[in-house]
Chains A and B, each alone.
Chain A
Amino acid sequence: MIELKNFVIEGARGFRLKADELQIKSGLFIQIYGNNNSGKSLLLKCLAGLYHNYSGELLYNGVQEKPGKYSVILINDFLAVMPDKSVKYNLYLPFGKTTKRKKDLLEEMLKDSGLDKCLDHKVKTLSRSEIKILELIRAIIQQPHFLLIDDFDTYFDNTSLKNLTKVFDHAAKAGTAIVITTRKKFEGITSSYAINSGEIYKL
């Protein structure tokens, strides 16, 4: 579980984002929505351990510093793929060989997402949204403790969210907590937070 207590992010030009209390429990799907420049991306970077200019407490299972045993994968505008390599190559890139059970699960998720038809295609032939689905599946198969997706609405809409329901279910079953940031509220996500006037509120 990630827990934020009296948490304040300091950004450029006097930017501040405050979160009195935010809990991200394992297996939960959380959306944090807010306008542009509201600090959504900065918040995810803090959670991923990539931004450290903050005060307050950021606890990983009750511990202040992020211990190495908790895996966090952040999906954002960075294209974490090798464009000249195949979809299959990119899927297996971070872990190489895998167990049969995971392989079956991977196949299932690829089928659910429709990516199974283009396994041998080069990634550069895919759309931006398909690339993000690839990144998403690749992240979920690794069963990280936390999966953070920035600007979710840039790559996915309500329809694709519906199509990816099974994929997200796999993550929930594995205990992966998913945190997405969006500019608009998605329906069907139980736990939602909003950023308004430099503060994060639970809805």
Chain B
Amino acid sequence: MKLRYLLQILIILVLLLIDDGIINLRQYSQEELNFRAEQIYLEIEEQPAILIVTEEQSERISDDISNLYFVKQVIKQSKNELIETLSSQYRLDEASSLLDELSLPAVVEIQFKGEAFREIESSLFLQATEKEEGIFQILYSDDNYLDQWRKLDTLLKYSGLIEDYWQWVYWGLAIIILLTVISFRINFENRQESYWQVYARSGGKSGLSRIFRILNSIFLVFIPIAIAMGLEYFLWINQTFGYMPDFHFHIMRSAALVIVSLLSLFLIRRKNYD
């Protein structure tokens, strides 16, 4: 009986470890996908749109554009800044007074939010710029972002697949664990029933069987849960395992399993002694 009980604990432990493995695999995969997505967002942000606008309208246009939800930053270069840049780049210090008299346009650089800028936002941006007055030229093409958007679509597809797969496997396994616990408890106690009958009839303490049934129910799930949690914690301490065990999750799962294990006692066949 002891061997049978140990075997039951071992089987539940293995199932719990597989269960935890699925959770951690999902977490790892999603983090990896998030990391890749972040890199693509950066690539999008590093490709700004440039508007050549009149100096007079530049302030208003900058404000309008910066109000768009997918715009991260708007950098305006005024006429004076341009003269300064041109003077220093091309050593036109002496001509700067001449340049000052010229009617130069302002440059507005628009940086998009990587996570919010997709095909629809690209159209919205073009629509917004069309409405504006005072724009000479738009240096922008959505072809520049097609590669990133394609990559993001693929990542989203993978992320969705992992999430769906995880949900099915995780809850499927959770049901298997619950049914295993119920089956083990009923099977074990039905086998023990004859012992407890003999025990009671031979003058053994009344009520001891009930205490043992409850203790067996608790230990059958508590021991493997404690081992699984301890193992994960040990691996985390030793940096073999990337994630710290989620103690809240472990407590919730322990409570669910202990309750099921105790409730299964109601399903045990009890024979009349006479």
The judgment on whether A and B are partners is: yes
Measuring CB to CB, which residues of chain A are less than 8 angstroms from any residue of chain B? 45, 50-51, 68, 71, 73-74, 76, 78, 80-82, 90, 93-95, 135, 138-139, 142, 144
Chain A positions within 8 Å of B195 at CB level? 82
CB closest residue in chain B, given A139: B203
CB pair A93 B202 closer than 8 Å: yes
Chain B positions within 8 Å of A135 at CB level? 202
CB closest residue in chain B, given A144: B203
Say whether B168 faces chain A, with CB atoms less than 8 Å apart.
no
Chain A positions within 8 Å of B197 at CB level? 78, 80
CB pair B204 A93 closer than 8 Å: yes
Q: A78-B273, A81-B198, A81-B202 are in contact. List 15 more A-B contacts (CB 8 A).
A: A50-B274, A73-B203, A74-B201, A78-B201, A78-B274, A80-B198, A80-B201, A80-B202, A90-B198, A90-B202, A94-B199, A94-B202, A139-B202, A139-B203, A144-B203
CB pair B274 A93 closer than 8 Å: no
Please tell me the size bucket of the interface on B: 10 to 19
Chain A positions within 8 Å of B201 at CB level? 73-74, 78, 80
Q: Smallest distance from the beta carbon of B128 to chain A beta carbons, Å?
A: 86
- Residues 180-221 of chain B: 1 if any A CB is under 8 Å from the residue's CB, otherwise 0? 000000000000001101110111111000000000000000
Q: Smallest distance from the beta carbon of A20 to chain B beta carbons, Å?
A: 26
What CA separation (Å) do A176 and B134 show in the bound complex? 114
What CA separation (Å) do A81 and B202 show in the bound complex? 8
CB pair A94 B274 closer than 8 Å: no
Chain B positions within 8 Å of A74 at CB level? 201
* Number of A-B residue pairs with CB-CB distance less than 8 Å in the complex they form: 44
Contact sample, A vs B, 27 pairs, CB 8 Å cutoff: A50-B273, A50-B274, A51-B274, A73-B202, A73-B203, A76-B274, A78-B197, A78-B201, A78-B274, A80-B197, A80-B198, A80-B201, A80-B202, A81-B202, A82-B194, A82-B198, A90-B198, A93-B198, A93-B199, A94-B199, A94-B203, A94-B204, A94-B205, A95-B203, A95-B204, A138-B202, A138-B203
Query: Which residues in chain B, 223-274, are within 8 Å of chain A measured between CB atoms?
Result: 273-274
Chain B positions within 8 Å of A82 at CB level? 194-195, 198
CB closest residue in chain A, given B195: A82
What CA separation (Å) do A139 and B201 show in the bound complex? 10
Chain B positions within 8 Å of A45 at CB level? 274
What CA separation (Å) do A94 and B206 show in the bound complex? 10
Chain A positions within 8 Å of B194 at CB level? 82
What CA separation (Å) do A80 and B201 show in the bound complex? 6
CB closest residue in chain A, given B205: A94
Chain A positions within 8 Å of B205 at CB level? 94
Chain B positions within 8 Å of A73 at CB level? 201-203
CB closest residue in chain B, given A141: B203
| Residue of B199, B202, B204 ringed by the most chain A CB atoms within 10 A | B202
Chain B positions within 8 Å of A142 at CB level? 203
What CA separation (Å) do A203 and B194 show in the bound complex? 40
Q: Smallest distance from the beta carbon of A113 to chain B beta carbons, Å?
A: 16
CB closest residue in chain A, given B207: A68
Query: Which residues in chain B, 150-201, are within 8 Å of chain A measured between CB atoms?
Result: 194-195, 197-199, 201
What CA separation (Å) do A201 and B205 show in the bound complex? 34
What CA separation (Å) do A78 and B273 show in the bound complex? 8
CB pair B203 A71 closer than 8 Å: yes
What CA separation (Å) do A33 and B50 show in the bound complex? 114
Query: Which residues in chain B, 86-116, are within 8 Å of chain A measured between CB atoms?
Result: none
CB closest residue in chain B, given A142: B203
What CA separation (Å) do A142 and B203 show in the bound complex? 8
Chain B positions within 8 Å of A80 at CB level? 197-198, 201-202
Chain A positions within 8 Å of B274 at CB level? 45, 50-51, 76, 78
What CA separation (Å) do A117 and B273 show in the bound complex? 31
Chain A positions within 8 Å of B203 at CB level? 71, 73, 94-95, 138-139, 142, 144
